[in-house]
Structure 1
Amino acid sequence: MAGERTGDVEPGPFNTPLPFSAGLTALVASNFRGKTSVLELLTWCLRGTPRSEMQSRVRGWLHQVDLDATVAGEPMAFRLDLTDGEITSAVVLTGGDIATLTDVRSPDPGLGITALLRASSTDSYAEQIAGLMLGRMDLQPLVNSFKETSTQTHGWPAYFGAVYLPAGGDKALLGEVTSNGLPGRLLQVFLDLPAAAALTRVKTVHDVRVAEDKARRTAAAAEAEERAAERERLAADLAQARERLARLLPGDEDDASLVDLANEAVQLARALADAQDEWDEASRVFRRARTERQHAAKLLNDVAESATARLLFHGLNPASCPRCDQDIDDVRRQQEQHARTCAVCAREVTGDDENPQEVTAEAQERLKTSTTVEAAAKEALEQAEAAVDRLTRQMETAQAQLRRAQSAADLPARLAAQENVLRLEGALSVFREPDEPATDATEAKTIKILAAAADLLEKDSKSAAEALFEEVNKEIAELATLFGVPSLESVSIDRSARLKIYPLGSKQEWFKDQTAGARLRLRIAVVIALLRVGRRYGVSTHPGLLLIDSPKSEEMQSADARKLFTELATVAAESDLQVVITTADFDLARATLPADTIRQAEAGASLW
């Protein structure tokens, strides 16, 4: 690793070699001093893409990253040139052995060093590394059905989840995601169960075929519904078009000339105007008669109660002063009733009230007469109103007939309406009803064959896995207990990489429901158990590299951490497994690991 560090901690240029042991290598340094960055750089070189945990600030320090590794027995040299955290040039070299590749950054035919790939960008490097690693390790892309309509392919980065173990906080047992059956596919990297890969591919193809058949039927049903709605729309449009044409075509009884209809309309308009005038006059007469009747009723009431009113009965009853034309207000009229003063001149009203019965009788006669007049006026008004209503209706009918009459003005509209009716009738006559979805006998047979093959492979895979998983479960329980998982009676992992936990004296639990620390212990126990059993039976296709970042930080006691480190060192030593682990606990590393496996920085200093 070469570049220039910025910031407060050891700023300046650096060029740091970092050798790794064949078995376990422990990277020991204080927190935030480069331990995790080494794992992330290993990941970038081998995976092809950096993880999101790789800090952009650290990437910006780097100018060169060189990694020598043996992949599937082939020596390889990964050489990356970077600017501002992005790859500007990269090459993967191969040669006779690792020693030959040391410090070499370009092909050298004289030494037998050739280039396996070249890249000029971050994306290009990622794409080419994925193809190179899958090919060298004889791994197939992980394919699963996606939303029951298609397949989804996961390449080499998904496999790398079996190399770089997730942190304790992650709920995936293997890999980085729990969906799409990927944990179960990664389990096959550890245990290459007979027929497991074939079973997965057959199931995927079966699911996609079934989904495609379902999609075809759904599409056919949707088309049928759409066509039915289209037919209803055409029928509704035709009905409306026929109604419009009927309105434009005159009836037989209305088949009169335009001139006659126009003359009739003019005569009715005149008659309606005269009737309206008569109604106005009748309305005025009625209002006047009603006022007279109301006045007569009031006068009868006044003469019955007031002598003054009887004395003034035959006198004038002006509304205003005959001299100055000012209105006579209510106050004066009240004074006339109660104070016997004239409402016009305000003088006292004098005289003898000798014949009150005669005055009252005459007032009653006046009321009777005015009532009769009002009734006659009301009847005349009602007759005038009826005449106006009748003539109005006749006028509206005449106008409608005039609009419907056969004339040059209406002819284009009628022709357009007739053309629209004919067009819609033609569209309905040739309307194609949707066909029933055809049954594809070949496809149905293929789906049945795939289902039968999946059942057969499922039985074979299940039978072959029973003995293996029995040993795996036993190993997991023993290792997890050794690593400090409390009160553990047994565990059970299935082919989908789902782990059941059976605590002592308690009901069954799931891996995802454990604490972060317990999940990390269990995950490491699972990986070691799978590697042990896989190598014991010769069915492991794991790349042989494990990256574990700071396991003690996940709620792990020192005693449990010692057991974990010791067991990891033992597993790495007794097999071809290479483990790179990080810790900030200097004492833990020195107490549990051989000195030649420790890569340690001074306290507070950077690891590289």
Structure 2
Amino acid sequence: MSDFLEKVASAADATPEVAATILADHGIRESIPSAPAAELRVREVNFSGFKNQNTDQPTDPFNFNWTIPGRVSAIASRGNSAGKTSVIEVIRWLLSGRSSVDNWVFERIQRASVKFLLDEEELAVEVDKDGPRLIGNLSLNGRVIRNFNEKSFESVMEQLMLPRLGLERIDTFQKFPRSERGKITSAGWPLLIDALHVRPSELSNVIGGVAQKAGLLLQVYVSPPWFDTLLQARAVVAISRQASTDRARTSQEEERIRGVETERIRTQLQEARNVLANMKEERASAHELRLAMSRAAMLSDAALRRAAEMQAATLDLETVEEIHLTSRRLLRNIIEREVAGTFFRALTPQACPRCTTVIDDERRTHEADEHICSVCNRPATAQASPSARPQAEAEVSETEKARDKAKSVLERIKVEYDAINEERVRLENRIASLADSESLSQRREQEALVARLEGRLEEREETRRLLALTQNGSTPNEEIRVLSAAQDESEVRVKQSSTLFEELNVEILTLGKRFGISGLTSVKLDRRAHLPVVKEGTKYNFGELPDGDKLRLKVAVVIALLRVGRLHGVRRHPGLLFVDSPGAEEVSTGSLVEMVTALTEIAEELGIQVIISTARLDEMITALDSSLIKSPAPGRTTLW
């Protein structure tokens, strides 16, 4: 038994066995070291399409291709609206499966691809797009391993990225607006990739683009021990307590609200039923379809029965025909014997045909009187029974009638079987016609609506019944005690790793100064991603700083996460950073060169990749070698 389980069981006044079962049932796992994240490196991006695709023949084709060099590279232009941000957004879309590309640009892209490395694995994503529809594939070392469409793209990329980066989907309890109630939400790779991107439109957050998730992103990537366990426990405790509160809640106002909603559903249900009842033609078609399907099923059963009867009748006919043939052979034999007897008895032999002994009158008289053959001296065979032939003839007649009757039965069954099959074929054609009719489809949709509303109404009435049974709610039960104890114990253990944030703040302060934030003397990043700073003797919240300082601090936070995480062996950040800073929100003149120079040194030190977007091409040329910069072709102001 682990120390964690022992403390949880003790705090919850439960046995270790019960505590272990409850934690396992709710997916709460003890902290285990995770493998370091794979290094993510983007090598090439391509996308193409037509800028003016609304004409009869799409015009103004574009084709952007960039083989990304070095640890630090840049997309730069002289001025904005050159398509720089779109390049970064396309890369992010292809890496995550979820698009934040500008709608105008996204609609015009018809084909896109990205090549990238995860450690030593060479991967590529290729997408063909037609409006909102797309198909694509993911390949590993030149071999396609997954295909996807617009619905599965995000899932395919998440299944690739999360295990290789040592990450998991994050379950958190999210409150509804202006409510203490909420639900468990699950976030995956499309949220976690936010930590790789510094956007000028998201400078209100220290990390990522969603304010409510900033603290979560921060701790996921620095990953203090027991933080994953704490996240799981928090979400489960919140939803379990909410469920317990729901069971106990009996206020009249909530009952009124439930009643109003129930009445609304009841009204909608009645309206839907009225619409369904007024669909006369559709109803007739549906009725005809049901009758046709029922009749077709009956005919199928009848056809099976007739087939069995036909097989039995065929066997009966074969048996009767065999008996008839036998009776005819017997009659023929009787007739042949009668003819032969008459012929031979009419003969008067003069001598034995073998030894020529003369047959005299005495032997003939003896034959007539004693019925002893005058030739062989043996008893003479009596004549055939006079009734044998009439009996044989009667039997032939009877078997012939039986055969004719069997034939008649078989022919009748065949006629019935053929008629059933003909009717069944007609019905199947009619069923297909009815099923394809638009009016019937509309009726089916209306019937489905009625069914959904009936289900919702039944669900609400069942909920009301259950609430009535639990209106005298109890105190938290053993399950909630165990889950709460697990949350508390995880919280204690996470706080014991507070030195991580102390080291983060030292790194952020150092990097902020290195990136050119003048007068910066103190930063204090906390677990909720709040970042108050002291600058030139005055304390500021992060959101009160100039945009240039916020941008540099956001970059500093990501670099600090990478450096401190690697020092403590909790590296989850893949070492890829996009810095997008167009227009007026870029850092001040001169400091851009200082910041890029510092990023170049840090990238080489940590082995990370930084892709910068800027509208200051001339300054970027000063900071980076021209081979590391992608800029508009001569004579153009845009990249694509």
Would you call these one fold, judging by a TM-score over 0.5? yes
Quick one: structure 1 residues 189 and 596, their matched pair in 2 at CA, closer, same or farther if it must change by over 3 Å? farther
SS at match of 2:207: coil
Decide whether the 8 Å contact of 1:173 with 1:497 is kept in 2.
yes
Shift of 1:569: 1.2
Decide whether the 8 Å contact of 1:80 with 1:87 is kept in 2.
no
Shift of 1:129: 2.4
Q: Which residue of 1 aligns with 2:140?
A: 94
CA–CA distance in structure 2, aligned partners of residues 531 and 224 of structure 1: 49
CA–CA distance in structure 1, aligned partners of residues 582 and 519 of structure 2: 20
CA–CA distance in structure 2, aligned partners of residues 169 and 45 of structure 1: 21
Decide whether the 8 Å contact of 2:137 with 2:144 is kept in 1.
no
CA–CA distance in structure 2, aligned partners of residues 4 and 541 of structure 1: 36
Structure 2 residue 84 is matched with structure 1 residue 35: yes
SS at match of 1:571: helix
Decide whether the 8 Å contact of 1:145 with 1:208 is kept in 2.
yes
Quick one: structure 1 residues 25 and 55, their matched pair in 2 at CA, closer, same or farther if it must change by over 3 Å? same
Structure 2 residue 114 is matched with structure 1 residue 114: no
Structure 2 residue 587 is matched with structure 1 residue 556: yes
Deviation larger for 535-544 or 547-556: 547-556
* Matched letter for residue 105 of structure 2: V
Shift of 1:225: 7.8
Q: Which residue of 2 aligns with 1:353?
A: none
CA–CA distance in structure 2, aligned partners of residues 34 and 225 of structure 1: 55
CA–CA distance in structure 2, aligned partners of residues 157 and 42 of structure 1: 13
Q: Which residue of 2 aligns with 1:333?
A: none
Quick one: structure 1 residues 149 and 215, their matched pair in 2 at CA, closer, same or farther if it must change by over 3 Å? farther
Quick one: structure 1 residues 145 and 434, their matched pair in 2 at CA, closer, same or farther if it must change by over 3 Å? closer
Partner residue of 1:580 out of 581, 602, 611: 611
Partner residue of 1:569 out of 600, 622, 637: 600
TM-score by length of 2: 0.54
Quick one: structure 1 residues 32 and 434, their matched pair in 2 at CA, closer, same or farther if it must change by over 3 Å? closer
Structure 2 residue 48 is matched with structure 1 residue 3: yes
CA–CA distance in structure 2, aligned partners of residues 435 and 93 of structure 1: 56
Q: Which residue of 1 aligns with 2:200?
A: 167
CA–CA distance in structure 2, aligned partners of residues 146 and 45 of structure 1: 28
SS at match of 1:17: strand
1:68-467 alignment to 2 at 5 Å? Answer: 68-71=115-118, 73-84=120-131, 86-95=132-141, 101=142, 113-115=143-145, 117-120=146-149, 122-147=150-175, 148-167=181-200, 170-179=203-212, 182-218=213-249, 220-222=250-252, 437=471, 444-464=477-497, 466-467=498-499
| Structure 2: tracts of 5 or more residues without a match | 1-45, 54-58, 176-180, 260-466
In terms of Rg, which structure is larger? 1
Decide whether the 8 Å contact of 1:63 with 1:82 is kept in 2.
yes
CA–CA distance in structure 2, aligned partners of residues 225 and 591 of structure 1: 69
Shift of 1:516: 2.1
Alignment: residue pair count? 375
Shift of 1:458: 1.4
* Matched letter for residue 104 of structure 2: R
Decide whether the 8 Å contact of 2:248 with 2:470 is kept in 1.
no
Partner residue of 1:65 out of 93, 106, 112: 112
CA–CA distance in structure 1, aligned partners of residues 512 and 552 of structure 2: 6
Quick one: structure 1 residues 199 and 46, their matched pair in 2 at CA, closer, same or farther if it must change by over 3 Å? same
Structure 2 residue 532 is matched with structure 1 residue 476: no
Q: Which residue of 1 aligns with 2:519?
A: 487
CA–CA distance in structure 1, aligned partners of residues 97 and 255 of structure 2: 50
Quick one: structure 1 residues 196 and 72, their matched pair in 2 at CA, closer, same or farther if it must change by over 3 Å? farther
CA–CA distance in structure 1, aligned partners of residues 567 and 196 of structure 2: 20
| Structure 1: tracts of 5 or more residues without a match | 96-100, 102-112, 230-432
Deviation sequence 1:409-444 (CA, Å, 0-9, x none): xxxxxxxxxxxxxxxxxxxxxxxx966646667x52
SS at match of 1:134: helix
SS at match of 1:144: strand
CA–CA distance in structure 1, aligned partners of residues 537 and 64 of structure 2: 53
Partner residue of 1:55 out of 78, 92, 102: 102
* Matched letter for residue 592 of structure 1: A
Quick one: structure 1 residues 37 and 225, their matched pair in 2 at CA, closer, same or farther if it must change by over 3 Å? closer
Quick one: structure 1 residues 493 and 224, their matched pair in 2 at CA, closer, same or farther if it must change by over 3 Å? closer
Q: Which residue of 2 aligns with 1:396?
A: none
Q: Which residue of 2 aligns with 1:25?
A: 73
Quick one: structure 1 residues 434 and 523, their matched pair in 2 at CA, closer, same or farther if it must change by over 3 Å? closer
SS at match of 1:123: coil
CA–CA distance in structure 2, aligned partners of residues 26 and 83 of structure 1: 30
Deviation larger for 598-607 or 587-596: 598-607
SS at match of 1:18: strand
Shift of 1:127: 3.4
CA–CA distance in structure 2, aligned partners of residues 539 and 145 of structure 1: 25
Decide whether the 8 Å contact of 2:51 with 2:62 is kept in 1.
no
Quick one: structure 1 residues 517 and 565, their matched pair in 2 at CA, closer, same or farther if it must change by over 3 Å? same
Cα root mean square deviation, aligned? 2.9
Q: Which residue of 2 aligns with 1:590?
A: 621
CA–CA distance in structure 2, aligned partners of residues 144 and 467 of structure 1: 25
Counting aligned pairs with the same residue, the percent is 29
SS at match of 1:486: coil
Quick one: structure 1 residues 65 and 4, their matched pair in 2 at CA, closer, same or farther if it must change by over 3 Å? closer
